Structure 1
Amino acid sequence: MKFTLSWLKTHLKTDADLATILKTLNAIGLEVEDVENPAEKLGAFKIAKILTADRHPQADKLQVLSVDHGDGNPLQVVCGAPNARAGLIGVFGVEGAVVPVNGMVLKKTAIRGVESNGMMCSTRELELGDDHDGIIELAGDAPVGEVYANWAGLNDPVIDVSITPNRQDCMGVRGIARDLAAAGLGTLNAIIVPEIAGVGPGPDVRTDDVDGCPAFFARSVKGVTNGASPEWMARRLKAIGQKPISALVDITNYIMIDLGRPLHVYDMATLKGGLVARKGKAGEEVLALNGKTYAIDETMTVIADDAAVHDIGGIMGGEHSGAQDGTTDVLIECAYFTPERIAVTGQKLALTSDARGRFERGVDPAFLDDGLSIATSLVMTLCGGAASEATRAGTPPATPRTVAYAPDQCLALAGVDVPHDVQKRILESLGFGVSGEAGGIEYQDGVPVSVPGHWTISVPTWRRDVDGWPDIVEEVVRIVGLDHVPSTPLPRVPGVARPTATAEQLVDSNRRLPLADFA
């Protein structure tokens, strides 16, 4: 799961620096696999302006440029880009810079007998995209001489966190921000869910496979204009390795990464009749968005219209009905697919996707309405159009769950003595509801007496993995910090070598760790 530091801070209000955030992520069980700041490898690349562009005397396809890179001494550069011309502002690599795409060190050289100093760069050479047809063209007001990465907002570390299969809630940036807020690293910003004043009836959708797709919510938005995503969205997606495609497609990918909620957008002009979530039929096929054709069978959930299958439910959409440049009317799908069905289908088809990785773990079944509203609002904001009412087919499995929990069970199971009020604060900050009396110690005639009691813990709908009181203990302990769990020697078993540690060392390692700083 990748995200940038600035993206995280759209959900987490914090003054913590990067090192503290990384240390905390590891301490609460979200292992940091890698951190990379794109700006570090682009520090020697500056914004520059081409002053003159003349034909190379020895090569028709080359030009000799005079380039102003901000120090007052224009440099001569030989360039073969077809779009190089006087007045263009682009990105210039100075002598000594290392080109990210191939590791080449730029140095003064002669190209067909003409001296060249540095290089005007394409997006592919800087590993910022796939375009290599010409050099980068920046806006006319881009500040000549400034480090390009700083001006372009690329000084933004990308954090890669390993998410275990049980932590479906952390398959979105918001879930990770919630954990960090619970660990005392800031405040979780509220989500603003827009109210959509739909006009006219919602689209014709239904579910005939409640075991595979219990709920299928949808809206249509008509009169949209598809195009490129806004710069802020494209930049965030590119930073984590997602290729921006178009505003309509990028919106669904952005919400999936941001909130952990996969969606799909259909071009309504390609549909024949209503959409239905149903079981597949032997002999059916679908050409997926990855360009491959997959054979469908009766164990799989598909989304189909009156004529054909358009979507391998919860895993990948079809190429035929996806949003295109000329799309004007769209249907936004926000459905719940059961993890078991997704897992079996994905394994059978040997098909992986970002959506599968989330549905297979289990997305929040109570977030369909809000997810659909957020997606609809983004579509209307970025692409225009008018939204319909929502159609809500089926019922998401969002039945409230509770767990009986005694706070003293934390010490009994994990060996960590966490004050009751700290446990309550941790659980509530993670989205759990806490009610009831905790029990504790009373003094009768000066003698401490244990008073039984327990809390009723309401489990948030995004925590499918929490099933019993040991899971509650785990939540408390990991937020306090896994390094607070004491090392406890096990009883010696005959035939097993004796420990080499001294008795004093064993006692010291088993002490209760103070939690005053955390509290």
Structure 2
Amino acid sequence: MKFTLSWLKKHLETEATIDEVVKAMTLAGLEVEDVENPAEKLSEFSIGKVLTAEKHPDADKLKVCTVETRDGTKTIVCGAPNARADMTVAYAPLGAYIPGLDFSLDKKPRKIRGIESSGMMCSGKELEVDEENDGIMDLPQELEMGTPLADALNMNDPVIDFEVTPNRPDWLGVNSIARDLAAVGLGKLITPPTNLTPPKFETDQKIRVDDTEGCPAFVGRHIRGVKNGPSPKWLQDQLKAIGLRPISALVDITNYITYDRARPLHFYDMSKLTGSIIVRRGKDEKFEALDDRTYTATADDVVIADESGILGLGGIVGGEDSSCDENTTDILIESAYFDPLTIRRSAKRLGVNSDAKYRFERGVDTGGLIDGCELATQLVLEICGGEASDIVIGGEIPTDPDPIEFDPMQVNKLTSLSLSDEEMNTILTKLGFTVKHGPIWKVTVPSFRRDCTEGADLVEEIARIHGYHNLEAVSLPPLPGRREPTATLTQNRTRLARRALALRGLSESVTWSFALDEHAALFGGDNPALRVDNPISNDLNTMRPSALIHLLLAGQRNADKGYPGAALFELGPVFAGQEPKDQRLSLAGMRRVESARDWAGAEEVSALTAKADVIEALDAMGASTDNLMLMEAVGDYWHPGRSGSLRMGPKKVLASFGELHPRVLKALGVEGRVAAFEIWPEELPAPRKKNASKSKGALTLSDFMPVTRDFAFIVPEATASNDVLRAAQGANKKLITNVSLFDVYQGKGVEDGHKSLAIEVTLSPTDATLTDKEIDAVSDKIIESVMKVGGRLRG
């Protein structure tokens, strides 16, 4: 919403500066986004007087002008066809920035065909003050030389742009902003009263409202004998200042009232109407709209029609066939009220955006239907002439909001403010409320404040106008007794895991908890219960079953923009249904498999890289990773031959990892291969000791040299290497401190359907150096343990 300072002062008598206005608006809850003063852009330009204008001796289309300026008399070479002596112009000095041309003049005089030129005379388009570009600006003679151009053009008028919250549609009118500023003490409200226009004749135009749900009331008035031409300069300047393009007097009047009183209106050319005006639902009718688009109105849309067909979408956009033009002499004023929900649905479905729609979907003042019609009548008669009929009302104007039973003690109870009854009464009265005093006040709510429905709303208004900055900051009383840490065990664990993953080169991401239903189905999320009834976007229409979805898409977007090799992780919720137990905490991550350019060679990302990420994160969270079972991954979105899971038992899955299935990547539009993991932190059991996840155990060092021994076992091809490692580890848990796999072999010397696994076992004595006999005894136990899982020592 934009308005100028001069526009505000039509409703507010104040001497406040623009900075004071902005501060008062901010304190009253109006969020100012920007303040633009056109005078700043024109600060370098001033009024000049052309004394002489002679033809350039070496150029047919150039003139050498002598110009009297605030910098003295200057010689300026000009190519404008309208340059002449005794002309008042816009003068740009040397070094000035010309906004319309986006360049700055040289700081020293410049020779043009041999003659020095000191400055420039500008056109309106070059200064971005109008669209005229046929020549330099020809300004009124009475302007004094040296006058700042912004003052000469009445453009020293700051424009305020602020954000309107959905609950305050009245702020979409300058008069309501002035009312709030008057309430905070910035000035006196002087909104001009709307004069009643006595009718000159009785109209025969009939208005019938068939759809009272979509349009409860339609107020109309016939004005005949109007002359539609350009609007007066004051009106054009007001609209141009806030970025609206003047079109004609009738159109400009409706735009002005829309911003001045938050009252959208529409004018119909009565010569183009057939019979009665009918407000009804659409019947799959097409019409050409004023925005040069064609729309089809269905039974979901409120339309304005006559007996020949549709005229426009009520409250959204009018039709071209009934619009006013330079030949219009008789008009029908429409001042109506439309149901906000109906307007919002129709506009969203049809993709229409207009100033009227923006206001009607938030709710306009029902008490301003007749006043809006009267104000429009007043301006039309003043600017376009003519005479007005009586007012015709179709439907029934909605009643005012119900009064509120208000206990003034609520103000102190809810805000701790100690205000007198007189202060609270003054605030409410200045905001348009009417107060009837008693032990419990009866407060009448104005029709433009339907957002106020209970006492707490009035408390908010009183606190807002008195000033939130005047609320005393009071600390909450301390709680008695011992207080537990605010962070839970899972929060502490996942913080350590996030740090561990970051140290491994993964970047943390925060993505949506929603996903596209087609993508969710790839990860087992095809449950209809996960669909969102009112999604924020069409591609976020279901709750995500996996955090990998957006990580994979983000990785592909990075690759598309020239940043391959994305490595991302995220901690967040995933969903399997609507019950609380169906929401789980997931720690997911992915690495794109890209060929790294490294002179020393770089290890390629693989499923084992994802497994290492998982091990590091689980270690950080205090899990005993040495004792976990390695089994198949959970979910058909994992590559069947390049994935696995770590479990504490056959059914207790801590994590899945590996490469993702090519089918899933293709459906997501992800190119290449991706290694990923999903960790379920809430599946980790609580530690036996307090703070086990926050600190490491004591470091145990031996005074004796460790001993390593290598073994090679022949096992069936289907045997998991982890089973062999676990069997070897369990042969002597006291002496064996580490078992690692260093070679897998299939080929000559190994029968078909089998493989050779070579492992290294580390023995760490604590009491004395191991003898050969003791080492052989441990070796025999290792061989015996591996044989129990189907292995035999390779010869």
Shorter-chain TM-score above 0.5 = yes
Look up the match of 1:361: 362
Offset at 1:273?
A: 2.6
- State the AA in 1 paired with 2:246: P
Q: Which has the larger radius of gyration?
A: 2
> 1:433 is matched with which residue?
434
Counterpart residue type for residue 148 of structure 1: L
CA distance in 2, matches of 1:128, 1:465: 40
What is residue 418 of structure 1 aligned with on the other side? Answer: 419
Q: Structure 1 pair 426/125, CA: closer, same or farther in 2 (3 Å)?
A: same
User: Is 1:495 equivalent to 2:481 in the alignment?
Assistant: no
- What is aligned with 1:138? 139
Mean alpha-carbon deviation: is it higher for 145-154 or for 316-325? 316-325
Conserved? CA contact 1:128–1:238, under 8 Å: no
Partner in structure 1 of residue 448 of structure 2? 462
Pick which of 107-116 and 225-234 moved more.
107-116
Deviation at 1:164, TM superposition (A): 0.4
- Letter of the 1:178 counterpart: R
CA RMSD of aligned residues (A): 2.2
The answer to whether the Cα contact below 8 Å between 1:279 and 1:299 also exists between their aligned partners in 2 is: yes
Q: Which residue of 2 aligns with 1:308?
A: 309
2:465 to 465, 475, 479: 479
Q: Percent identity?
A: 46
Residue in 1 that maps onto 2:270: 268
1:132 Cα deviation from its structure 2 partner: 2.6
Q: Which amino acid aligns with 1:24?
A: A
> Offset of 1:371 from its aligned partner?
1.1
Paired with 1:399 and 1:76, the residues of 2 have a C-alpha distance of 66
Other-structure match for 1:3: 3
Q: 1:140 to 1:467 in 2, by over 3 A?
A: same
- Do the aligned partners of 1:78 and 1:111 also contact (CA within 8 Å) in 2? no
**CA distance in 2: counterparts of 1:385 and 1:262, whole angstroms:** 22
- Say if 2:19 is the partner of 1:19: yes
Q: Which amino acid aligns with 2:486?
A: V
Could you list the per-position Cα deviations for residues 241-262 of structure 1 after superposition, in whole angstroms to 9, with x for gaps in the alignment?
A: 1111111111111111111111
Q: Which residue of 2 aligns with 1:507?
A: none
Structure 1 pair 55–361 and aligned structure 2 pair: CA distance change class (3 A): same
More divergent stretch after superposition (230-239 vs 140-149): 140-149
Shift of residue 74, structure 1, vs aligned partner: 4.1
1:486 CA displacement: 4.1
**Which deviates more from structure 2 when the two are superposed, residues 373-382 or residues 148-157?**
148-157
- SS of corresponding position for 2:237: helix
- Cα-to-partner distance string for 1:320-359 (whole Å, 9 max, x where unaligned): 3222223222221111111111111111112111111111
Specify the alignment match of 2:524 in structure 1.
Answer: none
> 2: CA distance between counterparts of 1:359 and 1:132?
39
> What corresponds to 2:639 in structure 1?
none
- Aligned residue pairs, count: 481
Partner residue in 1 for 2:241: 239
Instruction: Compare 264-273 and 107-116 and name the one that shifted more.
Output: 107-116
Conservation of the 8 A alpha-carbon contact between 2:401 and 2:450:
no
Report what 2:566 is aligned to: none
Tell me the CA shift for residue 119 of structure 1.
2.3
Give CA deviations for 1:291-317 in whole Å, capped at 9, x if unaligned: 111221111111122223222111122
The AA in structure 2 aligned to 1:214 is P
1:109–1:329 CA distance, 2 compared to 1 (3 A): farther
Query: 1:272, CA displacement in angstroms?
Result: 2.5
* Structure 1 segment 16-95 matched on structure 2, within 5 A: 16-57=16-57, 59-69=59-69, 73-79=73-79, 81-95=80-94
Cα distance change, pair 90–209 in 1 and its aligned pair in 2 (3 A) = farther
Residue in 1 that maps onto 2:777: none
Instruction: For residues 54-82 of structure 1, give each alpha carbon's deviation from its aligned partner in whole angstroms, at most 9, with x where no partner exists.
Output: 44455554444333335651422222x34
Report the CA distance between 1:147 and its aligned residue: 1.3
TM-score relative to the length of structure 2: 0.58
Q: Tell me, yes or no, if structure 1 residue 278 matches structure 2 residue 268.
A: no
Q: Out of 208, 211, 225, which is 1:209 matched to?
A: 211
Letter of the 2:471 counterpart = V
| Residues 137 and 398 (structure 1), Cα distance of their counterparts in 2 relative to 1, 3 Å cut | farther
Q: What residue is the counterpart of 2:292 in the other structure?
A: 291
Q: Which amino acid aligns with 2:227?
A: T
Deviations 1:60-119 (A, max 9, x none): 54444333335651422222x343344443322222221123442123333455433322
Partner of 1:500: none
Alpha-carbon distance between aligned partners in 1 of 2:96 and 2:486, rounded to the nearest angstrom: 59
Q: Do the aligned partners of 2:12 and 2:191 also contact (CA within 8 Å) in 1?
A: no
Distance (whole Å) between structure 2 residues aligned to residue 256 and residue 167 of structure 1 = 15
Task: Give the 3-state SS of the residue equivalent to 2:98 in structure 1.
Answer: coil
- Unaligned runs of at least 5 residues, structure 1: 438-452, 498-519
Structure 2 unaligned spans of 5+: 488-795
Cα shift readout 1:143-170 (whole Å, capped 9, x = no counterpart):
3331121122211111112110111111
User: Equivalent residue for 1:512?
Assistant: none
Q: Confirm or deny that 1:106 pairs with 2:105.
A: yes
Match of 1:26, SS? helix
CA distance 1:275–1:110, shift in 2 (3 Å): farther
The answer on whether the counterparts of 2:74 and 2:118 sit within 8 Å (CA) in structure 1 is: no
Deviation at residue 464 of structure 1 after TM alignment: 1.5
Counterparts of 1:324 and 1:86, CA distance in 2: 40
- Tell me: CA distance 1:273–1:496, structure 2 relative to 1, closer, same or farther (3 Å): same
Q: Which moved more, 1:223-232 or 1:169-178?
A: 223-232
Separation of aligned partners in 1, 2:114 and 2:349: 60
**Cα gap change, 1:302 to 1:134, in 2 (>3 Å):** farther
Note the alpha carbon deviations across 1:9-67, whole angstroms, 9 max, x for none: 11111232222221111111001111111111112212234444444455554444333
Partner residue, 2:223 = 221
What is the one-letter code of the residue matched to 1:464?
A: R
TM-score (norm 1): 0.87
Distance 1:209-1:38 versus aligned 2 partners, 3 A rule: same
In 2, distance between residues paired with 1:161 and 1:30?
7
Q: Distance in 1 between matches of 2:311 and 2:81?
A: 41
The 3-state SS of whatever aligns with 2:367 is coil
Q: Report 1 or 2 for greater relative contact order, CA contacts < 8 Å, sequence distance ≥ 6.
A: 1
Q: Which moved more, 1:223-232 or 1:5-14?
A: 223-232
Local SS of the residue matching 2:178: helix
Partner letter of residue 8 of structure 1?
L
- Tell me, yes or no, if the aligned pair for 2:367 and 2:400 is still in contact at 8 Å: no
- Which residue identity lines up with residue 454 of structure 1 in the other structure? I
Contact 1:63 1:78 in 2 (8 A): yes
CA distance in 2, matches of 1:111, 1:307: 65
1:336 maps to 337
How far residue 360 of structure 1 moved from its aligned partner, in angstroms, is: 1.2
- State the Cα distance separating 1:399 from its structure 2 match: 3.0
For the residues of structure 2 that align with 1:123 and 1:277, how far apart are their CA atoms? 45
Q: Structure 2 vs 1, CA of residues 246 and 88 (structure 1 numbering), >3 Å: closer, same or farther?
A: farther
Distance 2:131 2:470 in 1: 47
Amino acid at match of 2:356: A
Cα distance between partner residues in 2 of 1:137 and 1:356: 40
Aligned CA distance change for structure 1 residues 138 and 226 (closer, same or farther; 3 Å)? farther
